[in-house]
A and B are shown apart, each in its own frame.
Chain A
Amino acid sequence: MVTVAQRAAGVLESNIWLSLWFMLIALVAIGALVAFLGMGLIYAERKIAARFQCRLGPMRVGPHGILQTVADTIKLLLKEDIIPAQSDKIMHLVAPFLALSATVLILAVVPYSPILQVANPNIGILYVTAISGLSVMGILLGGWSSNNKWSLIGGMRSAAQVISYEISATLAVLVVVMFSGTLSLAGIVQSQQAGWWLWRMHGVGIISFLIFIIASTAEINRTPFDIAEGESELTGGFHTEYSGLRFAFFFLAEFINMFVASAIAVTIFLGGWMPFYIGGFEHFNRVMTIIPPSMWFAGKTAFLIFIFMWFRWTFPRLRVDQLMRLEWKILMPIGFINLIAAAVIVIQKFYFFPE
């Protein structure tokens, strides 16, 4: 497989303009993806939330309200951008872009299909864990620079939460890295040719998948763990003082984050763009092969996003101490035990479909 980055590098020596052209295409594609995801996911969230609560959701702007997000975006663009007095103005202006850029950077390494990936660094997983840690910088900066105690508390909570839950997420990812023997995201997808890591790993996979889902729900600050926002406690948390376009960027970053978390979970646990095969069912497998890989990826990601939304509209928010207890006393020990068990299984070659 050839990624866009490899194509750009390949023609760099012969034709620098073609190389730049490739980079531009990749940039525009990622930008379009961000815009589309922002619109689509916010609409989907509102509709799904409505269905969970016996409501209809947006129904008035366009058929079934599909243009509601467009109208909201225009409204946010036209609103006044308020900068609080005596705040750190430069930091206040930069923070939303930092939060968004951290998530957009991850979109570049996600393998959407065998032929669709912007860049494929051979340390893809490391890159993802490192960059996703960066997103907390935007939230923390936004909270700190707002000159508002609610914002500051929200930012600090978010920092504590993301740093804690990153440990569990990384432990869960490490299990897959051990099994697949590669750090590259495309390589991990290729290693699931014989079966998804979710059930190929002998129970270890399911535990690490659950840990990863819980930890990434916390990392993207979604509802059972949204103490950073905490409407009832902190009015708006880190984005209390933000309005207009900059608030929209925080909002967008939250939803793109959800897509990124789902996409990474799909890539490392659910086989990425690999179709779903059942051994022995030839006809079933042939039908599954007809569906294009990008559709497989989109479908699996949409399913995980639905699960995130399902969590959000079911569970109440955790208290800060409960949140920390869940991570340090429950998830992390389970993650370590899981890692050791996985190491034993890998050394003993004791898993399904060995290659």
Chain B
Amino acid sequence: MASNNIKAVKKEERIIGGRKVSVAVVMPRDTPAPIPSALAGLVKGMLLTLGYFVRPWKIVTRQYPENRKTLKFPQRYRSMLHLIFEEDGYHRCMACRICEKACPNRSIKILSQKNQISGKIELDRYIWRMDTCVFCNACVQSCPFDALEMGHEFENAVYDRRLLIFTLNRYAGPSVLRKVESMEARSKMMEPRDRYGGPVPLNGTSMPIVQPLMVKPAQKPGDIG
């Protein structure tokens, strides 16, 4: 052991949790270190801090509003939930509701509909409540179709919490995974969906762009949609 502050390292066997475990017992120095090594330690510390002083690129502070254009996020930073849209604008959600079940606090509500033409269950609205979301990533990990991702947008503050309830899909209709004969048939099955238009709890009031929630008597209170 090269460190100044360690007197000795003793290797022994101890019984931890009913098992014999070999451990290294580190004994700290109980007498002051010899003066030359103590001085060397002081010089070492000073060189370390000087090293940071002379290397300005080591500065970790970022000037936030100024560096907005060049902000870089860690790969795993989690913020806004997205449906992943393909290049041609189709998502992969099959409305299987696995994410809805995985969500720990019911921030996700999936409204599905039966397609009038094909007769199959399809996504109507993917409603995500950002105000209750804990960004735990469980929906993304549970999705069997890899239809979801957590994006990097972070300036999400709004003045009305009703604006934190999003409809993630841009259209209702068959997903890109569903086999449809032709593009024309697919486009016939699709309807546009806006970002805020879904049923949300508004306590009876309404905003121009947000429709009030129609609570059905059979539903539990606090449930979305």
Asked if A315 is at the interface (CB within 8 A of a chain B CB), the reply is yes
Taking Cβ atoms with an 8 Å cutoff, the residues of A that contact B are 48, 50-56, 59, 310-311, 313-315
Q: Check if A59 sits within 8 Å of B49, measured CB to CB.
A: no
Taking Cβ atoms with an 8 Å cutoff, the residues of B that contact A are 42, 45-46, 48-50, 52-53, 56, 58-61, 63
Q: How far is the CB of A314 from chain B (nearest CB, A)?
A: 5
Q: Check if A52 sits within 8 Å of B52, measured CB to CB.
A: yes
Could you list 28 A-B pairs, sorted by A, with CB under 8 Å?
Answer: A48-B53, A50-B61, A51-B52, A51-B53, A51-B56, A51-B59, A52-B49, A52-B52, A52-B53, A53-B52, A54-B52, A54-B60, A54-B61, A55-B60, A56-B59, A56-B61, A56-B63, A59-B63, A310-B46, A310-B49, A310-B50, A311-B46, A313-B49, A314-B45, A314-B48, A314-B49, A315-B42, A315-B45
- Rounded to whole angstroms, the CA-CA distance of A101 and B212 in the bound complex is 71
Q: B63 to chain A: which residues have CB within 8 Å?
A: 56, 59
Q: B50 to chain A: which residues have CB within 8 Å?
A: 310
The B interface is mostly helix, strand or loop, or mixed, namely: helix
Q: Check if A55 sits within 8 Å of B42, measured CB to CB.
A: no
- Rounded to whole angstroms, the CA-CA distance of A55 and B56 in the bound complex is 9
Q: B46 to chain A: which residues have CB within 8 Å?
A: 310-311, 314
- Rounded to whole angstroms, the CA-CA distance of A54 and B48 in the bound complex is 12
Q: How far is the CB of B4 from chain A (nearest CB, A)?
A: 14
- Rounded to whole angstroms, the CA-CA distance of A51 and B63 in the bound complex is 15
Q: How far is the CB of B162 from chain A (nearest CB, A)?
A: 34
Q: A59 to chain B: which residues have CB within 8 Å?
A: 63
Q: B42 to chain A: which residues have CB within 8 Å?
A: 315
Q: Check if A54 sits within 8 Å of B45, measured CB to CB.
A: no
- Rounded to whole angstroms, the CA-CA distance of A65 and B3 in the bound complex is 41
Most buried by A among B45, B56, B59, B60: B59
**Which residue from chain A places its CB closest to the CB of B42 in the assembled complex?**
A315
Q: Check if A54 sits within 8 Å of B49, measured CB to CB.
A: no
Q: Check if A55 sits within 8 Å of B61, measured CB to CB.
A: yes
Q: Check if B49 sits within 8 Å of A55, measured CB to CB.
A: no
